[in-house]
Amino acid sequence: MARSIVIDSVTKEFTLRHARSIKEMSVRALRRQSLSDRFRALDDEGPRAFRTAD
C-alpha cells in the first residue's frame, strides 16, 4: 500500500527590515521611506498529496 503525505494551506512570510539602528530608522522615517517590507516565500492555496517510497 502506498503511503502519502497531504499538505494543506502552507504559508511562510518574512519581514525584511531596512533599518538596522535607531539612527537609520529615524532618517528613514523623516524621509517617509518604508521601514520594512513583507516577503511571502511560500503561498499554497490548495491541498497537495505526495507519495512516499515504500
Mind listing the pLDDT tens digit for each residue in 1-52? 667 777 777 888 999 998 999 999 999 999 999 999 998 888 776 666 666 6
Cell numbers given for 43:
503561498
Q: 24: left (phi > 0), else alpha (psi -120 to 50), else beta?
A: alpha
pLDDT of residue 24: 95
Cell numbers given for 50:
505526495
Domain boundaries, the chain: 3-52
pLDDT of residue 2: 66
CA angle 40, 52, 45 (to 5 degrees): 25
pLDDT of residue 23: 95
Q: How far apart are CA 24 and CA 36, in angstroms?
A: 12
pLDDT of residue 41: 85
pLDDT of residue 8: 73
Residue 28 three-state SS: helix
